[in-house]
Structure 1
Amino acid sequence: MPQTAIDLAHLARQTGGDHELERELLALFAQQCVRHLRTIHAGSDARTRMDAAHTLKGAAQAIGAWTVAEAADAMERQLATSDIGRTEHAMDALTLAAAEARAAISRFDCAA
């Protein structure tokens, strides 16, 4: 079964099936993606970047954006090791996962 960018069944469980709340949470998550990705990409120090990755991971887990959560976790771990080559790969994976999640959120909002 193909994995979608947002686990809508998980989201429905988190919101008790409240579609308006789902839309609000998804919109908030889309905004958080932009803000945290910016910090992860251009943060002033490794700790700030790790904190942003950790926060993004938690937000993704809350709404069922599992690919984003996994990519943010990998990013957080890579930042801890300071391996620049792997950090760049992890950043690319996180950016792609976040873009896919944001696209899914856009489609969800249009379908509502």
Structure 2
Amino acid sequence: MARRDLSGAVDFAVLEAATGGDDGISEEVLGLFAQQAALWSPMLDARDEGWKDAVHTLRGAAAGIGAGPLAEACQAAEAADKAAAPPLLERVHDALEMALADVAAYRHELMLRSLRG
């Protein structure tokens, strides 16, 4: 997986602007995003009491790295009531998977760059 595998789910220019283009900081931020995703994604279920907390947290993390479609999906789910949440949470889950795939490809590219020196 490398940069050519990016789907466009994440606009990495947002991340690069926030990190000043520092590959080490970008890697650290993306690693934290992946950890947040692993922590909060099990709660993306309207039967879970913390589902709104999960989408709120993921929304902020997504915006920070440039994952606009994920942030938008989270915003829509967060605004919904419990009865309307299931399909919106499914959309969040799908957008999260796309963002994580792009993050993995980008992190792979960062690793390759670090090896090249």
TM-score (norm 2): 0.80
Distance 1:23 1:77 in 2: 31
Distance 1:89 1:28 in 2: 27
Structure 2 counterpart of 1:52: 54
AA aligned opposite 2:34? A
Task: Kindly state the Cα deviation for residue 43 of structure 1 after the two structures are TM-superposed.
Answer: 6.2
Task: Kindly state the Cα deviation for residue 49 of structure 1 after the two structures are TM-superposed.
Answer: 1.6
Query: Structure 2: 5+ residue runs without aligned partners?
Result: 1-6, 111-117
Query: Structure 1: 5+ residue runs without aligned partners?
Result: none
TM-score (norm 1): 0.83
| Identical counterparts, % of pairs | 34
Task: Kindly state the Cα deviation for residue 41 of structure 1 after the two structures are TM-superposed.
Answer: 2.2
Is 1:40 the counterpart of 2:38? The answer is no
| 1:56-94 CA distance string (max 9 Å, x none) | 10111111111110111111112xx222xx312111111
Within the candidate set 28, 33, 37, 1:29 is matched to: 33
AA aligned opposite 2:39? R
Matched residue count: 104
Task: Kindly state the Cα deviation for residue 42 of structure 1 after the two structures are TM-superposed.
Answer: 6.8
| RMSD (Å), alpha carbons | 1.7
Distance 2:75 2:108 in 1: 30
Highest RCO, 1 vs 2 (Cα 8 Å, sep ≥ 6): 2
Give the stretch that moved more between structures: 65-74 or 34-43.
34-43
